[in-house]
Structure 1
Amino acid sequence: MTQVDPVDQAAELVGREFAMAVVVFHEAVGRLLGLSAVERKCLDLLQRLGPVTAGAIGEHTGLTTGAVTRMVDRLSKAGYVQRCPDPHDRRKVVVQLLPNERMDALMATAFGPFVGDMTAIMGRYDDNELSAILDFVRSTTDALLANTRRVTRLDPARPDG
């Protein structure tokens, strides 16, 4: 019988608890806006990147083209985004975040205390430790996106696959 390394077991548990906390937090924030966690994170993506194509949303989220199209349709109907001609290439369409004071106020309420908590946590580490932490988070993010794409391709119910 193979022995499980207690450090590996603890690391797996911490990772699972962390992932659960992130998903549950973003689901709660999404509910404030009447959105799913993925829809809410799409709005975050648009806030960070500005207007982008649906293809770019898919690249950043790991979602299929069909899933992105349906999500943009829902966000457009809810008044959060609009499709616009790409100013650099009129043959393309970009998805643009619309101004929304209600969303801004709810986001400030939801994230203000969290940002303060994260600032305090980050202040506990020196530059070398922060560099290692950020490398870990970036690498984990890349692995999550790659595995989202992989799992999405396996889904037999996927409408565009």
Structure 2
Amino acid sequence: MLMAQVTPEQRDAGAMVGAEFATAMVVFHEAVGKLLGLSPVERKCLDTLRRLGPVTAGAIGEHTGLTTGAVTGLVDRLEKAGHVVRERDPHDRRKVVVKLVPNERNAALMATAFGPFIEDMTELGSKYNQDEVLAIADWIRRTTDILVANTRRITTMDAP
């Protein structure tokens, strides 16, 4: 695939849009977390469990880039608040998995927060053809991988 030459102005404009997007994403998830009484990291951990089902703390770390110590503290807080439980893995009794606890109140609040958002995003997605959607999905996947890798890098650094 040939890449078109990008001018410095286009690169700067792209960086500005990317920064605005990142800020909007963080602020949106902060607002949703506040609605649920959870930090953004706690809420995203619950999202990870919704997507993956019951998994080990190590798997949570792999998908988020957080260290094992950070995941342990995160799961401790979520368990104390009644959002998750630790259980023996039914396939390997030596392992412990983290499992979501159904919560009707949170489900209703999530529907309130995300219902209109999903409708808006569905409408936006309908404006693109299949090749454009695939390109956007590819960019999001690669950006996610970069974010997780850099989260892992930062969380394992010693503070100066």
Pick the TM interval, shorter chain.
Answer: over 0.9
SS of residue in 2 equivalent to 1:125? coil
Match of 1:115 among 106, 115, 118: 118
**Deviation of residue 153 (structure 1)?**
1.9
Which residue in 2 is equivalent to 1:125?
128
Which residue in 1 is equivalent to 2:34?
31
Number of equivalences: 154
In the alignment, does 2:43 pair up with 1:49? Answer: no
RMSD (Å), alpha carbons: 1.2
SS of residue in 1 equivalent to 2:156? helix
In the alignment, does 2:35 pair up with 1:62? Answer: no
Which residue in 1 is equivalent to 2:106?
103
The one-character-per-residue Cα deviations of 1:15-74 (angstroms, maximum 9, x if unpaired) are 111111111111110111111111001101111110000000000000000100000000
**Deviation of residue 150 (structure 1)?**
1.1
Of residues 83-92 and 148-157 in structure 1, the stretch that sits farther from structure 2 once superposed is 148-157
Letter in 1 for 2:15: E
Letter in 2 for 1:121: L
Output the CA distance in 1 between the equivalents of 2:21 and 2:84. 30
**Deviation of residue 156 (structure 1)?**
2.9
User: TM-score under structure 2 normalisation?
Assistant: 0.94
Output the CA distance in 1 between the equivalents of 2:158 and 2:125. 38
Output the CA distance in 2 between the equivalents of 1:97 and 1:133. 31
Which residue in 2 is equivalent to 1:86?
89
Output the CA distance in 1 between the equivalents of 2:157 and 2:73. 19
Output the CA distance in 2 between the equivalents of 1:89 and 1:10. 51
Output the CA distance in 1 between the equivalents of 2:15 and 2:158. 25
Of residues 46-55 and 145-154 in structure 1, the stretch that sits farther from structure 2 once superposed is 145-154
**Deviation of residue 145 (structure 1)?**
0.7
Match of 1:76 among 75, 79, 82: 79
Output the CA distance in 2 between the equivalents of 1:90 and 1:33. 33
SS of residue in 2 equivalent to 1:154? coil
Which residue in 1 is equivalent to 2:152?
149
